[in-house]
Amino acid sequence: MASKKQQAKKIIKKRWEEVRAPQDICGNTVIGEIYLSGLQNAIGKKIQYNIGLVMNQPKYYKYDGTFKISKIEEKTILTELEGIQILASQKQNIILSKTNLIEDNQVYKTKEGILVKLSYSAATIKKTTKTKETLIRSALRDFLTKKISELTYTDAVKSILNKDLPYEMKKVSHKLYPLRIMEITKFSIKTQTQRK
């Protein structure tokens, strides 16, 4: 009889809990629910969700976001946006281009010292040489090293979503060779450095 009582005590009821997006980027919107036996068990878990749906903005539908549960405040599960990534179908449109495809991925440091990995894909207007491709990559790396160092992580994400950063990258490339398409395909935190 005693053993049955002990087993009963070990049963922990689970329930669905709401998970919210970060206020600074997505306005504290509910992005989903997670099935938990206790709120603290949520810390560190990740949820992938479409940025356009989170922000109710069709222009952001081409990006998915990875949200990491970071803390609990008064029974509210809060997240950090760990990264954004373009949908596979969107990237395929660039890859299928009949002109030169220029791709690169590199680690940069934000204004607050967060290491981030940025990947992009671009297509030239017409066929060009490998030498031109190399010059474009080099120019963009120099530009991004300086630009990202001037932005906080949050501001960098906003700059990508609002197409400001891709536009500036396109302008940098234009001095060497014009691009038809420039898309930042992935932007994510490289280390576990905590954002303030």
pLDDT of residue 42: 77
For the whole model, what pTM was predicted?
Answer: 0.84
- Predicted confidence at residue 17, as pLDDT, reads 75
Rounded to the nearest angstrom, the gap between the alpha carbon of residue 132 and the centroid of all alpha carbons in its chain is 29
Coil, strand or helix at 117: strand
Strand pairing category for 63-73 and 179-189: unpaired
Q: Which domains occur in the chain, in start order?
A: 8-85 (no CATH), 88-189 (3.30.479.30)
Could you read off the pLDDT of 61-76 as tens digits, one per residue? Answer: 999 999 999 888 877 8
What is the 8-class DSSP label of residue 128? -
**Of residues 180, 158, 183, the one with CA closest to residue 90:** 183
pLDDT band at 89 (very low <50, low <70, confident <90, very high): confident
Q: What is the pLDDT of residue 196?
A: 44
What mean pLDDT is predicted for residues 16-43?
Answer: 80
Give me the residues paired with residue 78 across strands: 20, 71
Q: Who contacts 103 (Cβ-Cβ below 8 Å, separation ≥6)?
A: 119, 120, 121, 122
More confident position, 70 or 36: 70
User: Amino acid identity of 59?
Assistant: K
Place of tokens 């609990």: 72
Q: Is the pLDDT of residue 29 over 60?
A: yes
